[in-house]
Structure 1
Amino acid sequence: MTEKVSMIELEYLKNALIEASKIFEDIDDEDSLNKLIAAQDAYFKYLETHD
């Protein structure tokens, strides 16, 4: 199933990832860190496939 993502949602996600990355060094919970990395990977993969 493919969902369409609006540009507003994409911008919101980008900003959230930027903010999360700023506190990257403070994350000591491995599960939270893995979720952040997975979210970033998904975002960049989306950008690569939806120019």
Structure 2
Amino acid sequence: MGDDLLFMTMLYSRKSHFSAFLTVVGTLVIFILAPAPYTFVLVGHLETRTT
């Protein structure tokens, strides 16, 4: 039981780090590719969604 819990915790923390990494990379790509006004709107939307 303890080993399973540890494994699940490691898997979850790795997954959350990975999703945070994807969010950062995606935001950078959007900043590079998208026009500035659209980028600011999208980033504002993402920030309000996460809080």
Same structural fold, with TM-score higher than 0.5 when normalized by the shorter chain: no
Max Rg structure: 2
What is the TM-score normalised by the length of structure 2?
0.44
What is the TM-score normalised by the length of structure 1?
0.44
Question: Which structure's residues are more often helix, by fraction?
Answer: 2
